[in-house]
Amino acid sequence: MNRDLFVTGTDTGVGKTLLSALLVAALNRKYWKPIQTGACEGTDRETVMKWTGIDADQTYPENYLFNPPVSPHLAAQWKGTAIDLRTISRPPSFEPLIIEGAGGVLVPVGDHEFMLDLMRRLSAPVLLASRSLLGTINHTLLSVMAIRNAKLELRGVVMIGKENADNRRAVERYGNVPVVGCIPWLDTIDRSTLETVFKEHFDSSVFR
């Protein structure tokens, strides 16, 4: 059984890195983000290390690292290169990993491939990060449909932001998918806070 978790999102900036850091802290996992754009503003690996207090040896370096904060396919194009998913393989870790994607499930990484193809290559169960506010139902259901059409295991949805019970019920009903956790607005982000959020707002049985 694959005990890794692949964290994807409904779109960019939804909170994938926050969710990844929470899982790293709460489950005591190592972190890996194969494709990183926007490195000129700092990497998500650095952010996860800062928020969780883990050392670099608890993470794995990016396979592709680009400075511009744009889609992976465009960042690679601007650099005069291309992302070859065949070069991306799971690091040789006996411990389960938290793997963070870039952007949403259908963000292009090349001329004919998407983030979904990387998810399919790694075959890890998927957690979908979504916003809790207006617009999330459409974005979440479309992402759920894409993940299932790719024959990937969708472990559940995590809603990020101010609690919205109506949106949560709609996602669970129309998507036939469990909302396995939620992350409220956090004034402080550190390991202790992340572990507390997991204990209070997540279904821990999903992660055993």
Tokens of 180: 């396995």
Catalytically annotated residue among 33, 50, 162, 199: 33
Phi/psi of residue 72, nearest 5 degrees: -55, -40
CA distance 128 to 157: 5
- Cα 30 from chain centroid (whole Å): 14
Nearest to 104 by CA among 181, 179, 6: 6
| Number of other CB atoms surrounding residue 165 within 10 Å | 8
Q: Answer yes or no: 79 catalytic.
A: no
Alpha helices of the chain — where are they, by DSSP H? 16-27, 44-52, 72-78, 115-122, 136-149, 165-175, 191-201
Burial class (CB in 10 A: 0-12, 13-18, 19+), 148: middle
Residues labelled catalytic: 33
